[in-house]
Structure 1
Amino acid sequence: MLRMIFIQLWNERKSNVLIFLELVVVSVFLWYASDALYVQYKSFERPLGFDISNVYHVQLATVPVSSADYDTSVVHSRKGGSDFLAVYDRLAHHPQVEAVCYTGGNHFHYRGSNQFATFKKDSLMRHGYVRHVDPAYFRVFRVKTADGQSWETLTKALDENRIVVTGTVGTDFFGSAAKALNQEIQITDQGDRDSVFYHIGAVCEPQRYSDFMDYDYAYYKAAGSREAIANSGDGLANGWSLFIRVKPAADNNRFVAGFTREMSQQLRLGNIYLKDVVPMSYYRNEMLRYWMDDIRFYFSCILFFLLNVFLGIIGTFWFRTQQRSAEIGLRMAMGASRRNIFRHLFAEGFVLLGVAFVPAALVFANLMYLEVTEWSAMQIPVLGRLLCGMGMTLGLIGIMVAIGIGFPAYRAMRLQPADTLHDE
């Protein structure tokens, strides 16, 4: 049967050449889009190294100096940092709050800006981030150690005025996270001319800035003692960020409105007031918008190509069924069953797809070799990536071919041999 199908496709090569070329071109483009989605998925599924569930950003602000409500007393203006600490303590004692922490500036994930740092050891140099955080940061964001232990070890390191580096720093600079413990590393913060040798007190799990980014280089150091904060001005509230982890039972769609209404008066201390309460999921969605647009684009391309395959297949085989109605009627008159006719037409379509897929696979393999496809910092096995793209492409086009052939093939099954032969 297969030999007969090949002979028939060759005899009808003039009518098959357009659908053949369409299948080749569509397979390459569909494979490219499928491969890009596969790479994005493999990046997305990796652990982030932190957990933002039930975490909220408590935004504070200060009354403008020009305002009539501005408190000019020394204790609230020049020593307004003590008000910031009082806000911190009130949040920590709230019955719905599990943990609270603060960070310097935008030193947290899913932000478009952060302070950079340069890591150096011998001739090795890498660029990454510096994050000034409260030791309780690791508890709020559920950051674990590189060997999967809880956050207590990380908190202790900052309490002892040592730094915490991410697992990527430990592995690349020292060979492993375990070997990085108690070692020194040279770091230059953004804007600083001189490097500082820091003592590594702990190594946290590898972290990524957001879901579709690669593991980065970063280190954490204590943002400042309570004494230093207490002696700061009230402007501290504008530059620093407070975060709370809410108990799961208390976190719901009404939490923000209820918490803001309840705490607005309690968090109004000196010139500091509660500005807003923002879930971390908001920052995540804002940062992922660019990648989600890319994913939607690839999905749109896939749907467009599949629609083209469907229309091309159904048009070609509908016309072919019309042209071969006498042949089909003769076969049925000679004893071929309707099911055999249906299977034969299906086999023609899938053989044509298989023939067209061979040059498409060669083209895509060369595109991958030339690194024209989606770039990824991950070490994804090339063979696995090729096979996955092949499977997705064949599966999707196969479904469209099956649907496109199904209507003409079903119509061919319903033909009456006597009528087709009589017309002929």
Structure 2
Amino acid sequence: MKRQLITQMRNEWRSNICMILELTIVGVVLWSSMTLFIYLISVRMQHYGYSTEDLYHAEVKYVSGKSSAYKSYDDSAHSYFTDLAQIRSKLAENPYVEMTGLGSNSMPYNFNFSGTIIEYQDKDSVYSYMGNQRYVTPEVVRMLRLEGYNGETTEQLAQIIERGDILLSNFDNEDSEDMTDGKYFVGKDVTVSRDTTRRCHVGGMAYGIHRSDYENLFRGVIYYPLNTGWGNELIIKVKSGKGRDFMETVTTKDTEHGNVYLSNLQSLDNMRDSAHRDIATVVRNYAVCAVFLLIIIFLGFLGTFWFRVQQRTPEISIRIVNGATRGDIFRRFLSEGMLLLIMATAISTGVEALLMHYQIGNWGMTMGDYIPWLAMSVSVVLLTIMIVAGIWMPARKAMAINPASALKDQ
């Protein structure tokens, strides 16, 4: 009757195989969920190097000359530029506004990627850098409180833009190994979009604006100086905590003049919520799925081992009579569950390694090598907790068996 644990598990191979398969499937799904969660947390916790507090964004619209709403200009002194300047002037008079600035693709929470390549030729070598093009006025740099990579202050970066130089960011991911780091180009004249007639001077490096708070930079960022009289975005910096007051006081007269008007005026907070809505849904679905699977594991082990305790009652009684302590009985059940987990982990690790090699790059996430392995460790810990919790009550019941009562009919 004193059988070895492995022999006993082999005799119950059918139910054990089912449990191993269940653990393997749950382990792989749980790993993918943990990979997503840890990746998003790691991106969210990094230093962004800019701030979107108290910022409002509006699209600048221009009435076409072919439109019936177009208002003809009486002289050359008036144009779209003067209309836009009037709107900025009226907004500046609002008591809750600190400053305004113009931009194009200048703000986060916009998933457009206006990419281009800048190049620098040194003798026989050509060095390339790809980035998302963002056009900003010096005011936008100040409103974002943009930080420099090399310790430059926001004001120093604004002055670089003001004198007509461009700024580059660094790369956040390893997918840019074919590109030269931005710091190499600082102080050099580069060609833009492989057009030798278009040259810019790189004045410094700044943190890159992300498209969302849960996405690493795809390639880099190129900040271009924007003509102060033009732009398709108007950025407004309001006084701290005065956003609601600003929205209540701004009127149509403040946002329209001549053939220019502002559309879709909203806070960066609203833009962030809209941009994150889809990822929030995905995270919620993954979380619900992970919790559901963990509950399935808990209930599966609870039911299986509860049945095994009933089935093994005579054997457990004989073990106790022959000197086994109640702690030995408890540890035997836990060891059985851990062996099942080890076998399932060995299989799921192989599946996860294949997914790491072939699939993660297709998920649209650029992450450090440690994240999938950390996710695997977290998954194993969670499964261990669920297995121990599921076995705990049946094992405690086995410890409480009275040999005399259990063996009276044997």
| TM-score over 0.5 for the pair | yes
1:108 counterpart = 2:111 = no
**Runs of 5+ consecutive residues of structure 1 not aligned to the other structure:** 230-238
> Given that residues 102 and 140 in structure 2 are in contact (C-alpha distance below 8 angstroms), is that contact kept between their aligned partners in structure 1?
yes
CA distance in structure 2 between the partners assigned to 1:374 and 1:132 by the alignment: 30
Match of 1:282 in 2: 270
Match of 1:233 in 2: none
Match of 1:351 in 2: 339
Any idea what the Cα deviations from partners look like across 1:336-370, whole Å, max 9, x if unmatched? Answer: 454443333223212321233223323333443x4
Closer, same or farther in 2 for the Cα pair 1:93/1:114, shift >3 Å? farther
> Given that residues 109 and 209 in structure 1 are in contact (C-alpha distance below 8 angstroms), is that contact kept between their aligned partners in structure 2?
yes
> In structure 1, what residue type is equivalent to 2:199?
F
Q: How far is the alpha carbon of 1:186 from its aligned partner?
A: 0.9
CA distance in structure 2 between the partners assigned to 1:208 and 1:58 by the alignment: 19
Equivalent of residue 254 in structure 2, options 267, 270, 278: 267
Q: How far is the alpha carbon of 1:243 from its aligned partner?
A: 1.3
1:188 counterpart = 2:193 = yes
Q: Secondary structure at the match of 2:257?
A: coil
Q: Aligned ranges for residues 49-128 of structure 1 at < 5 Å?
A: 49-59=49-59, 66=68, 74=74, 78-104=78-104, 106-113=105-112, 115-122=114-121, 123-128=126-131
Match of 2:301 in 1: 313
CA distance in structure 1 between the partners assigned to 2:143 and 2:127 by the alignment: 33
Match of 1:371 in 2: 358
1:248 counterpart = 2:240 = yes
Q: Secondary structure at the match of 1:128?
A: strand
Any idea what the Cα deviations from partners look like across 1:58-96, whole Å, max 9, x if unmatched? Answer: 4566789646xx865637995353242233234345443
CA distance in structure 2 between the partners assigned to 1:223 and 1:414 by the alignment: 79
Q: How far is the alpha carbon of 1:320 from its aligned partner?
A: 0.7
Match of 1:199 in 2: 201
Closer, same or farther in 2 for the Cα pair 1:90/1:18, shift >3 Å? same
CA distance in structure 2 between the partners assigned to 1:99 and 1:129 by the alignment: 25
Q: How far is the alpha carbon of 1:326 from its aligned partner?
A: 1.7
> In structure 2, what residue type is equivalent to 1:204?
A
Q: Secondary structure at the match of 2:358?
A: coil
> In structure 1, what residue type is equivalent to 2:380?
L
> In structure 2, what residue type is equivalent to 1:100?
T
CA distance in structure 2 between the partners assigned to 1:31 and 1:116 by the alignment: 33
> Given that residues 313 and 406 in structure 2 are in contact (C-alpha distance below 8 angstroms), is that contact kept between their aligned partners in structure 1?
yes
Equivalent of residue 313 in structure 2, options 325, 348, 358: 325
Match of 1:48 in 2: 48
Any idea what the Cα deviations from partners look like across 1:290-310, whole Å, max 9, x if unmatched? Answer: 433443343344234323322
CA distance in structure 2 between the partners assigned to 1:142 and 1:176 by the alignment: 20
**Two-structure CA RMSD over aligned residues (Å):** 3.5
CA distance in structure 2 between the partners assigned to 1:184 and 1:77 by the alignment: 35
Q: Secondary structure at the match of 1:186?
A: strand
Q: Secondary structure at the match of 1:110?
A: coil
Closer, same or farther in 2 for the Cα pair 1:367/1:266, shift >3 Å? closer
Any idea what the Cα deviations from partners look like across 1:264-307, whole Å, max 9, x if unmatched? Answer: 16615533566553111222233333433443343344234323
Closer, same or farther in 2 for the Cα pair 1:185/1:14, shift >3 Å? same
CA distance in structure 1 between the partners assigned to 2:371 and 2:79 by the alignment: 59
**Runs of 5+ consecutive residues of structure 2 not aligned to the other structure:** none
Match of 1:393 in 2: 379
> Given that residues 207 and 216 in structure 1 are in contact (C-alpha distance below 8 angstroms), is that contact kept between their aligned partners in structure 2?
no
CA distance in structure 2 between the partners assigned to 1:25 and 1:127 by the alignment: 40
Q: Secondary structure at the match of 1:167?
A: coil
Match of 1:404 in 2: 390
TM, length-normalised to structure 1: 0.79
> Given that residues 57 and 233 in structure 2 are in contact (C-alpha distance below 8 angstroms), is that contact kept between their aligned partners in structure 1?
yes
> In structure 2, what residue type is equivalent to 1:415?
I
> Given that residues 165 and 219 in structure 1 are in contact (C-alpha distance below 8 angstroms), is that contact kept between their aligned partners in structure 2?
yes
